[in-house]
Amino acid sequence: MQRIRITGGNKLIGNMPVSGAKNAALPLLAAALLTDEPQTFTNVPNLADIRTLRALLEGHGAQVDYDPASEAKAMQIHTPVVTNHTAHYDLVRTMRASILVLGPLLAREGHAKVSLPGGCAIGSRPVDLHLSVMEALGAEIELEEGYVVAKAPAGGLQGATYIFRTVSVGATENALMAASLARGTTVLKNAAREPEVVDLAECLVKMGAKIDGIGSDTMTIEGVDRLNGCEHQVVADRIEAGTFAMAAGITNGDVFLKNARLEHLEAAASALALAGVELTAEEGGVRANRPSGRLVGTDITTEPYPGFPTDLQAQFMGLMCVAEGASVINEHIFENRFMHVPELLRMGADIRVEGRSAFVKGVEQLKGAPVMATDLRASVTMVLAGLVAEGDTTVHRIYHLDRGYEQLEDKFKGVGALISREDDPTNGNGN
């Protein structure tokens, strides 16, 4: 097992490249199952979660070629025949996004057996919306020994109108993929509008799908008989970009986020501006710096896009730990997404949690300490805190980090951070 060591105190200055978005690449890879033609994606990030989904797709009969070292970071996926219709628990339990093969398998093959993903550190994360939208499209859904067994009608899925009781990124993505090959018209209401959902919809249209209302909360899909292969570039990762912007902010640095798109970060940018960190669109990316030098306590509430993203909540809390004054952080998307709080307290932060709200009082200085990674975004928050803390911070169980951040240490080293990966003699226990 490995850990990351950070010695705090350096300002981050320079260029940080932003990779393709994990949360766009995962549904895009699943969408490749919808066609028997070769599909090419570029700007595919080299991440543990991508490797997990690749293994799952190969289990369904996909031939996958990927050269992460290539300039284009191109991945070819070709599934001429689906050889297996079951997504097994051993893979699905390591990555809940595996549920995204349900829609494509059901739409293309008429049946699928997908393990229920189980919960994770940030909440129970049910998949009821994924299942109910498939039923709305005519599928029969049975639960058997922890597996979802889904069967389309003899004539295939049927278009329908469906209103999501709550905004769900994954269920919207599964519905889009299934409806693309359903017979007739599907209308999805209260659909997710995240840039990653837009990226998937735009790729489906390139494959021949007929989708109106992309980027809005109501999408209309006219089913087609078949989809073709295409080439599609994965959208830049707005969460990675936002994470790096906060790293620049917490160190009072000045960083250019190469490939970042400010229009995907508006809610985060407006909260950061109130906090004293300015994001400015420049040619080919976004610049993040602290013009006045002050960092001011600012309240946020996480909401579905275009609101403040839940995937940046932990990082923003890290920033608020060293701001002047107090801030309130309300987590409205997940029921247990404050796992980073006990770890920040170990570093001298002043935070009190009441239900889904965290009350943060800025402190003069955080102190380095051994801390634990618990989920992907909490892990990177510990790195951010380590960048500004006095002394050394060691972050343990960094397999969480490797799920969603590509070459993290190299990117931070490139702008002056004192950060390195090392073997963990405590085997993840941090003692």
Residue with the shortest CB distance to ligand EPZ: 170
Among 123, 208, 391, 428, interactor with ligand EPZ by CB under 6 A: 123
For residue 401, the one-letter residue type is L
Instruction: Specify the DSSP element, H or E, that contains 91.
Output: helix 89-92
Which 367-396 residues touch ligand EPZ, going by CB under 6 A?
Answer: 376-377
- Part in contact with ligand EPZ (CB under 6 A); list of ranges 126-134, 224-232, 252-260, 386-394: 126-134
Q: Is the dihedral of CA 340, 343, 344, 349 positive or negative?
A: positive
Query: Which stretches of 137-265 are DSSP H helices?
Result: 169-180, 195-206, 238-250
Q: List the structure tokens of 247.
A: 């790293």
Orientation of helix 102-109 relative to helix 128-136, angle to 10°: 20
Residue 120 annotated in active site:
yes
Counting contacts by CB under 6 A, is residue 140 touching ligand EPZ? no
130 binds ligand EPZ (CB under 6 A): yes
d(C-alpha 337, C-alpha 258), whole Å: 29
Binder to ligand EPZ among 12, 26, 288, 322 (CB under 6 A)? Answer: 26
**Hey, how many other C-beta atoms are within 10 angstroms of the C-beta on 86?**
16
CA distance 226 to 287: 43
CB of 30 to ligand EPZ, least distance (A): 10
| Residue 128 in the binding site for ligand EPZ (CB under 6 A) | yes
- The whole-angstrom separation of Cα 194 and Cα 301 is 17
Which residue lies nearer to ligand EPZ by CB, 107 or 322? 107
Strand ranges (DSSP E) for 125-228?
140-144, 147-151, 161-163, 185-189, 210-212, 218-222
Q: Mask 311-330, x = binds ligand EPZ (CB under 6 A)?
A: x-------------------
Does residue 53 bind ligand EPZ (CB under 6 A)?
no
- By CB under 6 A, tell whether 169 contacts ligand EPZ: yes
174 binds ligand EPZ, rule: CB under 6 A: no
Per CB under 6 A, residues contacting ligand EPZ are: 22-23, 26, 97, 123, 125-130, 166, 168-171, 310-311, 333-334, 376-377, 404
Residues acting as catalytic residues: 120
